[in-house]
Every structure is written in structure tokens, then in C-alpha cells.
Amino acid sequence: MLYANLLNWDNMLPFALFGVFALVAFLVMEFMTAKNNRTTNRLDEFKDPKLRRKREGKKDAISMVLERTTAMASPLKPKSELETSKLKLRLSIAGFRNESAMATFLGLKFAGMIVGLFLAGGPMLLLNGANQKTLTTTVLISGLLFYMPDIVVWLIGRSRKEQIFLTLPDALDLLVVCVEAGLGLDQGMRKVSEELKDVAPKICEELQLCNMQLQMGRSRNEVLHELGARTGVDDLRALSAILIQADKFGSSVATALRVQSDSMRTRRRQMAEEKAAKTAVKLIFPLVIFIFPGIFVVLVGPAAIKMVREMFTTMNGGA
């Protein structure tokens, strides 16, 4: 009955018209508010500073919607400094470190909840009426869209951590070569970020940020500690701690880097051996579910067919 109502043109026509008019209105607003690109606008502002004041109130449709949802999402803001720092750390691990990242994240969560209520609640209410099924479906879809930004941030953060984890040994080896060749740690990190930017963009981005912070006058210990904290990679955090200790006690940085490189390679070899040992256990379920039934049919099928034919032949001959 539900599918019949969904496929009914009389029921779908209002939603189709609403979607078409909403899309046309959005495109018209976007075209009217974004006639020139950002580069052209900036050049015009440099030529005539008065244009900057005129364009302060003019924003594109996406920015206006995002600002509205961010303002309405104020009840979702963390209530304590600890929760705020945890949320900023999650966004930092995923690579979102600008000042408006947290507000944008909360605004997207609120917008997802509202979109879920309208997209799920409206059609379900018109098709099924006000009942428990409508309420359950609306709550589930709204909850899924509400937590969708959390899932996306977690997936992006995990992918970023994995890329840093896999490319860190190459960057560390090159850093050891640079330091042993006579470069300082700062110059070595700059050289690594320049040489490996195409192969390991994530770790090079972190090293470039460290170099920029050092050039701004921050202490090396603070920069290295923040490097280990904002990435969420345990190996990079351990490397930062070792470099801080080497700088504090005046020991050789090249020796500390070489020892850390050897320990990282030993740990990776142990992880590879552990995964190889788990392979046999993980293959049991695909073998039992997908491969064994096919083998059983191929081996036992002809014998079973022959037995059935012989049984029917015997029964017909006896009759």
C-alpha cells in the first residue's frame, strides 16, 4: 500500500513542484549573488576600497544558510571547556583547524536534523498519517542525518591518521639524512616538507605548519608537543616526545631520530606479522559461507543426481 501511494502521481506532484521551484530559486539567488569569482572581487576591492564596504552585507546563499543554521545551533555548543577542547581535537585530527570549524560543524548537525524532519516527517505524515510508524521513521532518519557530520569527521580523521602513519617512516628517514648531513632540525623539517609534498602531503602539511609556528617565534617544545597532539598519531606523538627530550638534555638529535626510526620499523613489522597470523582465522567465515557450499555441490551433486535416478529407475522397474 505504501509503495502504491509513493508511485501515485497525484501524491508526488506537489513534492516534485516544490523541489523544482526550490532548485530554481537557489540557482537564481546563487547567480545574482556570485557574478564574479573571489579573485576578481579582491582585485576590484584593491582598485576601489569603497566596494569592500558595499559588499560586506552581500553574501552568497550557501553562506547565508550556513550562518543561520550556525546561529540556531547555539544550544548544541559544548557546555564546558573540556567538551570544547575534545570537539576541537576531533576536528583538528580530521584537518579542520580554522576558527569557524566548530561552529560550522554544529550548524551542519542542526541542519541535518531539520532536513531529516522535513524530508521524512512531511511525506510520512501525508502518506501514513500520525501514528507510531511515522514517528519512528522520522526520528530514525533525523537522528541519522544529525549524526552524519560526526561519522564523516571520524572517517576523514581515520583516513588522515592512516596516511600519516604510513608515510611517517619515509619522512623520518629523510629527516635523519638531513640532520646527519649537517642541517638543523628546523631546516631538516623544511627540507622534508619540500621534498615529500607530492608523496606524503599530510605529513608535509603538518611539518609546514610547524615551520610556520617556529618562524612566528614559538618555542620548539611547544610546537613539537602540539604536533603530536593535533594529529592523533601515537608514533608522531612519541617522536615529538623524544625530540623534546633530546632538545632539553642536549643529546644528539640524529641519534634520537635513528633510534625512533628503528623502533617504528620493528613495531610495523610486528603489526604485519600479527595481521598475517590473523589471516587464517579471518578466512574461516568466507570459506564456510561462500566456498564450501560450492565445493559441496560440485563434489556431491553428481553422485546425488545419480543416486536419485537409480532410485527412480528401481521404483519404476519394480512397479
5 located within any domain = no
Per-residue pLDDT at 293: 83
Per-residue pLDDT at 7: 45
How many helices (H) and strands (E) in the chain? 16, 0
Q: What is the C-alpha to C-alpha distance for residues 219 and 213, in angstroms, rounded to an integer?
A: 9
C-alpha cell at 25: 530559486
Determine the structural domain holding residue 212 and report its residue range: 160-279
Q: What is the C-alpha to C-alpha distance for residues 223 and 217, in angstroms, rounded to an integer?
A: 10
- For the segment 40-56, the average pLDDT, to the nearest whole number, is 56
State how many domains the chain has: 2
pLDDT, one tens digit per residue, over 159-186 is 888 888 888 888 888 888 888 888 888 8
Alpha-carbon separation of residue 128 from 12, 114, 137, 142, 223 (angstroms) = 14, 20, 11, 18, 58
- For the segment 201-210, the average pLDDT, to the nearest whole number, is 86
Q: 278 vs 1, which has greater pLDDT?
A: 278
End-to-end Cα spacing for the chain:
53
Q: Same structural domain for residues 102 and 210? A: no
Q: Same structural domain for residues 46 and 63? A: yes
51 located within any domain = yes
Q: What is the pTM of this model?
A: 0.64
pLDDT, one tens digit per residue, over 227-263 is 888 888 888 888 888 888 887 887 778 888 888 888 8
Task: Grade residue 35 by pLDDT with cuts at 50, 70 and 90.
Answer: very low
Please tell me whether residue 102 adopts helix, strand or coil conformation: helix
124 exposure class (CB count in 10 Å sphere: 0-12, 13-18, 19+): buried
* Tally of CB atoms within 10 A around 193: 21
Q: Same structural domain for residues 205 and 130? A: no
* Tally of CB atoms within 10 A around 160: 19
The position carrying cell 576601489 is 48
Q: Same structural domain for residues 183 and 206? A: yes
Q: Same structural domain for residues 255 and 174? A: yes
241 located within any domain = yes
Q: Please determine, for residue 270, whether its predicted confidence score (pLDDT) is greater than 70.
A: yes
pLDDT, one tens digit per residue, over 121-146 is 666 666 666 677 777 777 788 888 88
Q: What is the C-alpha to C-alpha distance for residues 220 and 209, in angstroms, rounded to an integer?
A: 12
C-alpha cell at 69: 543554521
pLDDT, one tens digit per residue, over 53-85 is 555 444 454 555 555 555 555 666 777 778 888
Q: What is the C-alpha to C-alpha distance for residues 69 and 114, in angstroms, rounded to an integer?
A: 10
Q: What is the C-alpha to C-alpha distance for residues 86 and 312, in angstroms, rounded to an integer?
A: 73
Tell me which of 129, 156, 183 is where a domain ends.
156
Q: Same structural domain for residues 152 and 185? A: no
63 located within any domain = yes
Q: Same structural domain for residues 227 and 262? A: yes
Per-residue pLDDT at 189: 85
Task: Please report, rounded to a whole number, the percentage of residues in the chain having pLDDT higher than 70.
Answer: 72
Residue type, 37: N
Per-residue pLDDT at 1: 46
Q: Which DSSP category does 79 fall into?
A: S
Q: Same structural domain for residues 148 and 174? A: no
| Phi, psi torsion values for 48, nearest 5 degrees | -135, 100
Per the prediction, the chain carries an average pLDDT of 75
Q: Are 207 and 193 in contact (CB under 8 A)?
A: yes
Q: What is the C-alpha to C-alpha distance for residues 102 and 90, in angstroms, rounded to an integer?
A: 10
Per-residue pLDDT at 22: 63
Q: What is the C-alpha to C-alpha distance for residues 119 and 125, in angstroms, rounded to an integer?
A: 10
Query: Can you give the CATH number for the domain in which 171 is found?
Result: 1.20.81
Q: 49 vs 136, which has greater pLDDT?
A: 136
